[in-house]
Amino acid sequence: MAAWLLSRALSGKSGGLLPWSQVCCRERCRTAPSVLPALQDKPRAASDLPRVSVWEMLYRMLVQGYYNRLHELQLYEKQLYGPIYWSGLKSVSVNTAELLEELLRKDEKFPSRGDMSLWTEYRDMRGFGYGPFTEEGERWYKLRAVLNKRMLHPRDSAQYDGVINVVVTDFIERIKHLRRCSPTGNLVPDMSNELYLFSLEGIASILFETRLGCLEKEIPAGTQEFINSIAQMFSNSMAVVITPKWSRSLLPFWGRYIAGWEGIFSFAKTLIDKKMEDIQQRVDNDQDVEGEYLTYLLSNTQMSNKDVYASVTELLLAGVDTTSNTLTWTLYQLSRNPEIQDRLYEEVSSLVPADRVPSAAEVTAMPFLRAVIKETLRMYPVVPMNARIITEKPISVGGYQFPKKTGFTFCHYAISHDENTFPEPYRFKPERWLRDGRQRPNAFGSIPFGYGVRGCVGRRIAELEMYLVLFQLIRHFEVKPDPTTGELKSINRTVLVPDKQLDLHFVDR
């Protein structure tokens, strides 16, 4: 997901880049504004704000090597320039919860994150439609109205607990198998990879209504090719953004990038076409058409096939790395905080009898389980920055007046590490989210799924997947760190990922 962030960062339209630099900041530190006092009635001109030039951004990213720590740059820039500043020519970085709230409450009817040409070009070439990520304006609005049904409301997503629980059960079996293969009998190497396979299998079983075999001992060849295609598309995206169009026939990146998309779409299309044939057969035989999400899209809506291909593919791409990396960070933190893990175990083992798997209603009613995921997403917002372009009219934010078409970059990572909102921001403290009489943090301090009508459509599914798998993992195993792993740092690969492999011990309860 988040291709738009990649292209914005590199085109200088975004706020989030790098360093901890030695670049002289003395002057800027003196001039960094705070937000204007509410008493000042006349908004100031946007040109009064400090500005990070495109060259500074490039220097920090390429020379100082912060290209993969864009989230850390948000913290540094806040010190340097204050809570709101220009990044490049067209984008303004917003770096406090209060300003973020002010801006998002003024968001438009058809919110836009900006240029998505990195993804739309392939769809245009092949005549596919656009999905929820790439579509804009009224067409996007209508598309979301269709996609939201059966997905966004907790009541709708709850119906997938059976499908997800089957995948979770297979995942637990896989963990047991991997443990047996290790010299100590309980070590599972490379949890990020395992959780990626789990997340792909989980979301595909909802979207395609079929199993891909990611959790089998031998992953089927077609599924492996699909996984490789996704990796190929993402790994060539950066090169495609930074190299000029004229070089596409000379350099290998564009060809590989397109080949990645071809593999992704052809796999998705095959599965969707097959489902369509099944539905047609049932209709021809006067049988009821029953099914999950894909059946709903194919049989109950006005969507054309090419729109279904695009939407299902985009939902799938958005739903794998996000969920799997959040789970990776959760297990990492739980392994290092045994007292928090014990408290979670107490909750999961006391609320559901040991001989059955939990339902959606049961896991969503577990306050500590929910708090653990919420705290993980605060510390490691898997989408560490986001964006909006306000296209229709001028807008004032923080006492400054911006012309229409101004882009805004949201510094989610820095905002969710602001110690004014979250005391001890670098400590994993799920209890800060409990509704037990304590004061709740500012809601805009951590909005990992975005906000408003353009917010994450898969949020409820993602939460359900994460609750169900975490429940089973913690009920079955005590998760312990492997001493060779040490401390993990987060790096930015459009989503926040660990800088090295995470191996964990799974000891039977």
Residue 456 labelled as part of a binding site: yes
Smallest distance, ligand HEM to C-beta of residue 341, A: 20
CA distances from 430 to 108, 164, 339, 345, 383 (A): 33, 25, 12, 14, 20
Smallest distance, ligand HEM to C-beta of residue 413, A: 12
Residue type, 80: L
* Footprint (CB under 6 A) of ligand HEM, residues 203-232: 203
Smallest distance, ligand HEM to C-beta of residue 327, A: 8
103 by DSSP, 3-state: which?
A: helix
Regarding 101 and contact with ligand HEM (CB under 6 A), the answer is no
Q: 207: how many CB neighbours lie within 10 A of its CB?
A: 24
**Is 495 within 8 Å of 234 (Cβ atoms)?**
no
Q: Which stretch binds ligand HEM (CB under 6 A): 52-60, 349-357, 449-457, 479-487?
A: 449-457
Among 344, 383, 397, 488, binds ligand HEM (CB under 6 A): 383
* Footprint (CB under 6 A) of ligand HEM, residues 125-184: 132-133, 144
**Is 297 within 8 Å of 308 (Cβ atoms)?**
yes
Regarding 470 and contact with ligand HEM (CB under 6 A), the answer is no
Among 360, 461, 479, 497, binds ligand HEM (CB under 6 A): 461
Which helix (H) or strand (E) covers residue 471, if one does?
helix 459-476
CA distances from 24 to 88, 132, 474 (A): 18, 42, 49
Among 348, 382, 397, 502, binds ligand HEM (CB under 6 A): 382
Regarding 358 and contact with ligand HEM (CB under 6 A), the answer is no
**Phi and psi torsions of 491, nearest 5°:** -125, 160
Q: Which stretch binds ligand HEM (CB under 6 A): 167-175, 208-216, 262-270, 444-452?
A: 444-452
CA distances from 63 to 23, 238, 294, 330, 385 (A): 11, 17, 47, 33, 22
Among 380, 449, 471, 477, binds ligand HEM (CB under 6 A): 449
Smallest distance, ligand HEM to C-beta of residue 483, A: 29
Distance CA 224, CA 11 (A): 33
Closest CA to 47 of 328, 380, 406, 327: 406
Among 150, 179, 454, 505, binds ligand HEM (CB under 6 A): 454
Helices (H), 288-431: 293-300, 305-318, 321-336, 338-351, 360-364, 367-379, 412-415
Distance CA 247, CA 442 (A): 47
Smallest distance, ligand HEM to C-beta of residue 2, A: 8
Distance CA 256, CA 33 (A): 45
Smallest distance, ligand HEM to C-beta of residue 377, A: 6
Smallest distance, ligand HEM to C-beta of residue 204, A: 10
Edge-to-edge strands, sheet with 386-390:
51-52, 84-87, 91-94, 406-410, 386-390
Q: Which stretch binds ligand HEM (CB under 6 A): 213-221, 234-242, 295-303, 379-387?
A: 379-387
- Closer CB to ligand HEM, 56 or 465, in the complex: 465
Regarding 384 and contact with ligand HEM (CB under 6 A), the answer is no
Q: Which stretch binds ligand HEM (CB under 6 A): 233-241, 283-291, 314-322, 354-362?
A: 314-322
- Closer CB to ligand HEM, 100 or 188, in the complex: 100
508 by DSSP, 3-state: which?
A: strand
- Closer CB to ligand HEM, 70 or 461, in the complex: 461
**# chain residues binding ligand HEM, by CB under 6 A:** 26
Region at 23 (left for phi over 0; alpha for psi -120 to 50; beta for the rest) = beta
- Closer CB to ligand HEM, 78 or 460, in the complex: 460
Residue 442 class from Cβ within 10 Å (0-12 exposed, 13-18 middle, 19+ buried)?
middle
Q: Which stretch binds ligand HEM (CB under 6 A): 40-48, 283-291, 313-321, 330-338?
A: 313-321
Residues at the site binding ligand HEM, with contacts judged by CB under 6 A: 113, 132-133, 144, 203, 314-315, 318-319, 322-323, 326, 382-383, 386, 448-451, 454-458, 461-462
Give binding residues for heme as ranges. Answer: 456
